[in-house]
Amino acid sequence: MRAGFPDFRLGNVLATSFTGTLSERHGDAVERIPTPQRLVDWLAVSGLAVDSCTTAQLDLARELRESIHAAATAAAIQDALPAAAVRVINDRSAQGRAAAILTPEGKRRWRLSSASPVEDALGVIAADAISVIAGERDGKLALCASPTCQAAFFDTSQSRTRRWCDMNTCGNRQKKARFHANQRRSPRSAE
């Protein structure tokens, strides 16, 4: 990780890991891809390595990210999908030319074209979002219970009762807050 930039929060669902590059949307928002190079870094750790990225491509990426966030949030609360967000997701999906590749070890990899690797990577992310929002995958979209976060995440727990987008950050913070509240409430034992 590069010094001076916020770390990435990587989940096992590409589309919601991507929306997680902006966190605390309802608090002090943290932009985790503040520069084109940080998008390059994020794509590399997400199996979509590209050589470089322009500011215009970063703008495209962020537009896609916020569109996925809006559509996934609507889907999580069973609201109508916002038309503008759906259009952006579909445009990015249609523009991508990535090819799914099966490795000899039986893993899936993405091969991006040499002409437009960033657009191809965004296409993969958009297609991933489509499969999640369309309910094709085993899991359920939900919103993080942290009031300052409210991120849409994909709950693949058996009971579908996960409350936080990320256990290590939002989940832990809530637990700590509850612990301290309980400490204050509980009467001290007689001395």
Residues of the shown chain interacting with Zn ion in the complex, contacts defined by CB under 5 A: 144, 146, 149, 151, 165, 170
Q: Give whichever of 27 and 135 is closer to Zn ion, judged by the CB atom.
A: 27
Q: Give whichever of 89 and 151 is closer to Zn ion, judged by the CB atom.
A: 151
For residue 62, how many C-alpha atoms fall within 13 Å in the half-sphere facing its CB? Answer: 17
Distance CA(126)–CA(89), nearest Å, equals 5
CB 171 to Zn ion: min, Å: 8
Cβ–Cβ under 8 Å, residues 72 and 141: yes
CB 164 to Zn ion: min, Å: 5
Q: Give whichever of 22 and 81 is closer to Zn ion, judged by the CB atom.
A: 22
DSSP secondary structure of 87-102: HHHHHHHHH---EEEE
CB 20 to Zn ion: min, Å: 8
Cβ–Cβ under 8 Å, residues 73 and 56: no
CB 183 to Zn ion: min, Å: 24
Q: Give whichever of 56 and 77 is closer to Zn ion, judged by the CB atom.
A: 77
Distance CA(98)–CA(2), nearest Å, equals 27
